[in-house]
Every structure is written in structure tokens, then in C-alpha cells.
Amino acid sequence: MTLNEAIIARHSVRKYTDRKIDQETAAELQKIIAECNEKSGVSFQLQLNEPGAFGSGMATYGKFENCTDYIAVVGKKEDEEACGYYGEKIVLRAQQLGLNTCWVALTCNKSKVVYEAKKGEKLIIVIALGYGQTQGHPRPTKPIEDLCKIKNPEMPEWFRTAMEAVQLAPTAVNQQKFVFCLDGNDVEAKTLLGFYARIDLGIAKYHFEIGAGTTFFKWK
């Protein structure tokens, strides 16, 4: 599965089966996590067989069922965009490995999330992981024209393809509160007002880069 295929296949999944993540898959996840930890300054921490965060002894917590595996995302407040960008790298890798995921800012029991934090760091968000009871489902998106501003005379084809990947990026409550501005080959991605909008922005920027493929552009 290519990353573009992973973008299309990925949907938030909140109900999981009993199937355990095997050692080989966990090792692949640890590999991408180590890479992201090194590059980002964020600390992604894989937690397996830890049922507390999604309600041990309860059938569900929030809308979640049977979720015992997750990634605790730990960092500084100003790292939010990097949490999104690098977290989505891990999410799409997980999708390639046959796993399902869901970003979770609110609907888990944060006091039961297992993680370590250094001074100045806190738990920013959690990424639920596992084998879904289903693959999730497509959801509505804003039209591309509402998600971008173009200074060029016409929207280039590569930019449209990149924006299609942005449309498929997960955002908190599907808010899609951002705008991608194109001026020549410069792209500026800006957040609008919204909860966790900087995490959303990081996620969307990673999707944009994948969608843009080998086309040269520069982040402004």
C-alpha cells in the first residue's frame, strides 16, 4: 500500500477486535516512532495491552470499544503542529501495516493514559490503535475551493491533487479549520480558529506533501 493509498483507506476507527498486535508489526511501528521522535522533538510512546485509557472494566469509554493499544503523544504546547505532522506519519504507516487508528484529544480517560513526561512536557493527544471491527467510513469534506486561496492565474493540477489529500486529513470534529495559500510555487498553510487546530494543520501539511508527490514547492 502506497502512502496515497493509505490516505484513501484511512478512516477513524473506534471499535476494535480482540486481535493482538504481533511482535513484527509492533517492531515496525517502533521503527517509525523512533524516526519521528528523533526528527520532531515530540515523544511518541507506544503502549500495548494498556486498557485503562479507554475504560478498563467498561464496555466503552466515549465511543471506543476494546481499545487496549495506543500511542501517547507527549511534548510541549508549542510542539502541536509537529505532533500532528509526525503523528500522521505514524498513522499512515500503521494503516500500511493493516492497523486502524483514531486521533483522540478528548474522549479517553486521560488520567489512565500511560506515559512519561520530562519537565515542561505534557500529554498532548493520544492515537488509538488496533484491528478495527470495520475499516471506518468516508465522511463529508469542505470543497477544495473553501480550503485554499490561489494567487496563480489557475489552480495547477499538482496543487489540486495535494488538496485532495488534504481533504482526507483527519481533523478534530472534522472541522477542517485551515487554508492553504498558493503563490507561484510558495505554499503557506494557516490555521483558522478551532480546537486543536495546530495539530490538524500538521496532519494536513503531511497529507499535502504526499499529495504533491515530487512536484517542487516551498513552504512559506
Ligand X SMILES: Cc1cc2nc3c(=O)[nH]c(=O)nc-3n(C[C@H](O)[C@H](O)[C@H](O)COP(=O)(O)O)c2cc1C
Does 170 sit near ligand X (CB under 6 A)? yes
Nearer to ligand X, 152 or 174 (CB): 174
> H or E segment at 125?
strand 122-130
Least distance between ligand X and beta carbon 186 (Å): 26
C-alpha cell at 107: 474522549
Among 6, 12, 29, 191, binds ligand X (CB under 6 A): 12
Count other Cβ atoms within 10 Å, centred on residue 50: 18
Residue 104, interface with ligand X (CB under 6 A)?
yes
Identify the DSSP state of 37: H
Pairing between strand 100-104 and 122-130?
Answer: antiparallel
Task: Read off the C-alpha cell for 187.
Answer: 505554499
Q: Smallest distance from the beta carbon of 168 to ligand X, in angstroms?
A: 7
Nearer to ligand X, 128 or 182 (CB): 128
Residue 9 CB, nearest approach to ligand X (Å): 11
Between strands 186-191 and 218-219, the pairing is: parallel
What are the beta bridge partners of residue 12? 101
Nearest Cα neighbor of 217 from 193, 186, 195, 196 is 186
CA angle in degrees (0–180, nearest 5) for 121-122-126: 130
Q: Is 171 in the site for ligand X (CB under 6 A)?
A: yes
106 binds ligand X (CB under 6 A): yes
Residue the block writes with cell 473553501: 146
139 contributes a contact to ligand X by CB under 6 A: yes
Residue 107 binding ligand X, by CB under 6 A: yes
The distance of closest approach from Cβ of residue 193 to ligand X in the complex, given in angstroms and rounded to an integer, is 14
Site for ligand X contains 81 (CB under 6 A) = no
40 binds ligand X (CB under 6 A): no
Q: Which stretch binds ligand X (CB under 6 A): 36-44, 90-98, 101-109, 155-163?
A: 101-109
Instruction: Dig out the grid coordinates for 219 from the structure.
Output: 513552504
Of 173, 183, 184, 190, the one binding ligand X by CB under 6 A? 173
- Rounded alpha-carbon distances, angstroms, from residue 35 to 6, 75, 114: 19, 16, 21
The residues binding ligand X (CB under 6 A) are: 11-12, 14, 62-63, 102-107, 125, 136, 139, 170-174, 196, 199-200, 203
